[in-house]
A and B are shown apart, each in its own frame.
Chain A
Amino acid sequence: MMRRLPAALALCLLGAIPAARADWVVSGACAYVDREFDSSGFTGNEPVKPLRLADVQVIDGTKVQGQGVSNADGSFNFVVADNQTRSIYVRCLARHSTAAGIPVEVRSATSSSTTWSVRGTTVNNHPPTQSLNAGTLVAVPGAGGEAFNLYDNVLYGTQYLNVLRGGEAPAALMLVVFNSTNSTVSAWDGSEIMAARNAGYDDTVVLHEMGHYVTAQFSLSHSPGGSHSLSNCNQDIRLAWEEGQATNFGCSVRRYFALPNSQLYVRTTGQAGPGNLQFAFDVETQLPYSCLGATSETVVQSTLWDLGDGPSSPDSSPGTDEPWDLLLGLDADRFQVQDVYIPTAANISLEDFWDGWFGPGAHGHLSEMRSIFRHFGVEYEPDLMEPNDTVAEARLVTPGPAIYQLTFFADRNNDLVGEVDPDWFGFDAVGGSQYTLETFDLVGDANTTLTLFATNGTTVLATNDDRAAGDKSSLISYTPPAATRLYLRVDHGPGFGIYGSYDLRLLGAASGIDADQDGYPSTNDCNDNNPSVHPGAEEFCNLLDDDCDGAIDEGFDQDGDGVTVCAGDCNNVNAAIHPGAAEICNGIDDDCDTLIDEGAFPDTDGDGVKDCADPDDDNDGVPDTEDCAPLSYLATAPPAEVLESVESPSPGVARLKWGMVAQSNVYNVYRGVIGALGPPHFACLLAQGPGLQFDDPATPPPGSVFVYVEAGANTCGEGSLGLDSAGAPRAPDTPCGSPGTDTDGDGIGDLNDTCPLVPNANQADPDRDGRGTVCDNCPSAGNPGQQDADGNGTGDACQDVDGDGFPASVDCNDGNGAIHPGATEVFNGQDDDCDGVVDDVTETVTVTLATWQASSSRLTIEATTNYPLGSVSLTVTGFGTMSYVPATSVYRLVVQPVANPGSVTVTSTGGGSASLPVTPL
């Protein structure tokens, strides 16, 4: 022993001496051949896709010489520690190793030494100093492609799980076993996915199975397992939940990563090439395997799908979503219910998902959830007969053909989580008459049990659970010996759920008087004089309680404002509009009295449109939105700068000249000095000065430039001072004040005066052109510019140069007396009647001759038209087209032999026509 110690120590020391290292870098990429699919199977497209986040190894013989991981694009690049020349190769494995997250691996058998991989070319005599480009190692179908496709899909699944879990966290290995000797059915055996040998490219199948892995790791299932067919609408409710959520998980992975056709579950035969479909279905619509109720996996999958998908989801309706589906992006909420609540439930099903959604940590969206669930026949809400959970609350009904649509869902504490729901009904039975009491159309897990009680509500007269073997509906036939009130209780029979929907009918003789003979006696008929009114009748909008449920016209008040359409609601989608509502000034008939904005609302321009709805309150042609003074037609916009010239009448004096600004009599005048340094400055030289020129006696400071700017003023404020050399608006440093000049002394300041130089305290201006009548050169026609070309004091608008009695304001040609409103339009290329249309002549056809020569049976017709020759064609009805005869300037048609038609009618393609009796000769 003592002799061995030095030798062992020496060996240890030898091993501790580091060998000479010459590390090298290996780079390349891992990839696989994918097969794309749609609802027909494979599309035939087989793109090469990156093998993401997979283990990559450098192998020397049986030894792993180096190891790395591929990137998201499949590439890899890592250092290999080495110190000697070797024969090596690189391989990519269908394995994602991680201790921090969810490891993934695809093997050919359960053993860990069977991981699928593809290897590159062996490099012999590779020196330890030489880096290596291994190329792109592609796994092809039949030689790893399937396994790598399975790997890539479940890797997506784990990444989706990370999102749902709020980040990466350790979890059990996601193991897929794929082998050509596997069965043709994929399965989850509680610890691993056995991928069918022909499902290597069936992405949604392996992701469905991964949904079971998610349940095993993060939730719980009570599914009995085994085969399950999509068109079975009455599955074990626990199996339906587990399988439906698994399908939803798989397709949600693809939806989340925006992979194409994410709404499709596709199972192929596994053969290469386009098509090769086994079957496919749409997860969003269930089609073609549609069911109702929670006992269908397609219902579960589609219900859950609607919580996550949205208009932008890559599905069959990109850009839109179904009208009943108003939710989206609630994947994490769904997972939270599955993760936290579901494992605490018994006989786990969609019912528990509902309970978990609205239970602890409620996720809300009640109306949206009901909308989605109802669409798939999942009615987790009290029916209209609730509360009727005790004999004291029994709903009295009348035996008859009526069918009551009911649910097993009581919610006495209004927490949205349902409770066990016995449904009680009472009815008055006739003695000696047989009654048939039955449930049918069970949806979901609605297994019914019927119990018939005597009048005391406790003595059981009859009971039935299942109508027949395999039929969970119930049926009782009973004949009471004497007239009596009976009670019927419907219970949810034994099963794995407590919710569900069913229909109930009580057939038999009704008791009491039935005056209107509608099958419902007066004891239950709320109107026994109207056969259209009785329990179960269709409710119409007619101000009546047609169905005797105590509510009038329910369902016809869409906006919930308390008034139905038939009660006068003129807008059934706006609760603010209904009879009795206050009329407000908004351009709408708020109170439904057919009048819009009636009442004392201002109408500045008196055009009948109240200001609140009038786009141009002052009717000055400038929309209110652009009008600086929307309630004053006197002002439209601030005038622009008006300076026209600068003269120098004497040394050191600058004379400014400008033109007239309509509606202005006084002007503000500024002087700007642009200095060599600093910003320009503009100061007021003259405030509200009259006239059209101004002498500035100031002497320009040396080295600077003068800018004189005049701005007119009116009630909209001053005009612009123009733009500076840089194109920026000038602003006055010292704005002109407003001395309130009133030149004519009529008490109206010049800035607001319609006649600033002529007193007119009443401001009369009937033509609303801004010029008061006393100073308007044409008070009968709007002419704000006061144009008067001949300077005769009468505005051009009131001139009648051609003396045709129509002034220029209405005469479209005041230089031609033949042209004026009301003149006859003729074909002359002019608008003779001033209606804005040239040569809009009404055609006049005249039949000038219609004779029939008895001896020769010859009919002769002649006609004229005021339309130009060649512009129209004339036809004698029943005889043919007429020809133009230049010699006589008429259209003529001669027909022979023919009987005397009595009269003829000539029509023109210009719209004119005329008739004339035929003269026999």
Chain B
Amino acid sequence: MKPNLAGLVLLLVAVTAAAPGRPAPRVLPPAAATVEPTLSVRLDLGLEGMERGRGRARGRLRLSLQAIDEVRDVAIVLAPDPLLSIPEAASLPRSIGRLRAGEGREFDLAIEGPDDRDRPLRAEVQFRAPDGTLQRLGAGITLTSKPAAPAGRYHAGALEYPALVLPWPRP
């Protein structure tokens, strides 16, 4: 329950009396937008310009690295599905070294592979955080065997997807 105004005033008086050294409360705007907890580095993967034909999919793998705090000893490792080919992976620097807070790196690599089934790709960035600890952050993306799954339909006031219908009561 939120206190009513009179109660709040009483509480303010009590609080002020109880903590004489603390500055008087002041009204501030609501909380600012915030984001989920992260590590000192953010790593994003994306697939762009995907084309399909003759049982294969090909396009560009975009890898985006962003330092939130100053980090050192930054290194990236790619672990793609064995049948995924990233010819330019060798150009990916094994060690990026130091990144200042706010500094980023972008990598754009050709990627190709059979599209007979979903093929995942995992990337890991290793870095030394400001407190000196060695940390790892993973990221991943999947080269799917089909174009994007059929989107749901907006209908009768909702976004509808077909359900998997099982018996009820369930055995």
Contact = CB atoms under 8 A, between A and B. Distances in A.
B38 A140 contact: no
Interface string B105-122: 000000000000010101
B137 A279 contact: yes
B158 A93 contact: yes
B53 interface: no
Contact of A186 (B35, B165, B168): B35
B33 A344 contact: no
Contacts of A92: 163
B21 to A, nearest CB: 3
Given A196-B36, A215-B31, A229-B37, A288 B120 contact: no
B87 to A, nearest CB: 23
A138 B36 contact: no
Interface residues of A, number: 108
A602 to B, nearest CB: 59
A137 interface: yes
A250 to B, nearest CB: 10
Nearest to A276: B140
Contacts of B15: 341, 344-345, 355, 359-360
A403 interface: no
Nearest to B33: A189
A265 B33 contact: no
With a 10 A CB-CB cut-off, give which of B8, B12, B34 has the most chain A CB atoms.
B34
A117 B39 contact: no
Interface string B49-91: 0000000000000000000110000000000000000000000
A139 B31 contact: no
The interface residues of chain B, by DSSP majority, are classed as: loop
Nearest to A91: B160
Given A118-B161, A143-B161, A231 B20 contact: no
Interface residues of B, number: 68
B165 A225 contact: no
A217 to B, nearest CB: 9
B170 A136 contact: yes
Contact of B32 (A63, A121, A223, A267): A223
B33 A190 contact: yes
Contacts of B42: 185, 227
Contact of B21 (A140, A230, A339, A418): A418
Contacts of A108: 152, 159
Contacts of A182: none
Interface string A336-376: 00011101111100000001000110000000000000000
With a 10 A CB-CB cut-off, give which of A165, A230, A269, A272 has the most chain B CB atoms.
A269
B34 A119 contact: no
Contacts of A218: 2
Interface string B133-144: 101111111100
B44 to A, nearest CB: 5
Contacts of A738: none
29 contacts: A62-B156, A117-B159, A136-B166, A136-B167, A138-B166, A144-B152, A185-B38, A187-B35, A199-B36, A208-B37, A215-B31, A218-B2, A229-B39, A229-B68, A229-B69, A230-B37, A230-B38, A231-B39, A269-B138, A277-B138, A278-B137, A278-B138, A344-B15, A345-B25, A346-B24, A359-B15, A419-B19, A419-B20, A419-B22
The list of the 6 closest CB pairs from A to B, nearest first, reads: A225-B32, A420-B21, A269-B140, A221-B31, A419-B21, A118-B163
